Amino acid sequence: MGLYYEDLKIGDQLTTAARTIGEYEISSFAGLTGDYNPVHTDSEYARSTPFGSIIAHGALGFAIAVGLMNRTGTLDGTALAFLGVRDWRFTAPILVGDTVHAELEVTELRETRRPDAGIVTRTVALVNQRGETVQSGSLTIMIRRTADRGQAAAPRLPGQIPPAAPPPTPGAPY
């Protein structure tokens, strides 16, 4: 189970696992989106650009950043809605063979009128193996609150089984 609203504090930081971006990811993304711009799909053309080789789509980098954030498990079972993106910047290309990870920081926590949900904003920096930030911005997500407002969520163990339901009353219908 992921983290609840009450488990988070402004300033909490987390670094995700990393992944290497290959031509397969870039060509698959081109096929999925229909964006066959030659800077992403044509090696000969891409060599003539300032980048000197094929680069990943900007939107692919954003999608990978979101995926890496989700791989942390902090939103598993607690994320309710992806509410928005602010100030997303593309500051350097993602090249074939680059290995990227995301650096996350909680920057805002907001209560809602709903007793079961709160809103968290995290800055996200997608960083390559050379330590260069290639993309960055803020993501806002609505997440679950604990049943008892203001109390930290009880620790959850992997594979924890919920309590069994009471046995049926004899003679009662299904």
Over residues 3-37, the pLDDT tens digits come to: 999 999 999 999 999 999 999 999 999 999 999 99
State the DSSP code for 169: P
- CA-to-CA separations, 162 to 5, 54, 115, 156, 171, in angstroms, rounded: 22, 50, 23, 11, 26
d(CA 63, CA 69): 10
Give the CATH number, domain containing residue 94: 3.10.129.10
Asked if the model's pLDDT at residue 49 lies above 70, the reply is: yes
Nearest CA to 57 out of 134, 140, 137 is that of: 134
Is residue 95 in some structural domain? Answer: yes
Is residue 149 in some structural domain? Answer: no
Is residue 14 in some structural domain? Answer: yes
Is residue 38 in some structural domain? Answer: yes
**Residue 131 has what pLDDT?**
98
- What is the domain extent for residue 124? 5-144
Is residue 168 in some structural domain? Answer: no
- pTM of full prediction above 0.85: no
pLDDT tens sequence across 86-120: 999 999 999 999 999 999 999 999 999 989 999 99
How many domains does the structure of the chain reveal? 1
Asked if the model's pLDDT at residue 58 lies above 90, the reply is: yes
**Residue 121 has what pLDDT?**
98
Asked if the model's pLDDT at residue 145 lies above 50, the reply is: yes
**Residue 169 has what pLDDT?**
54
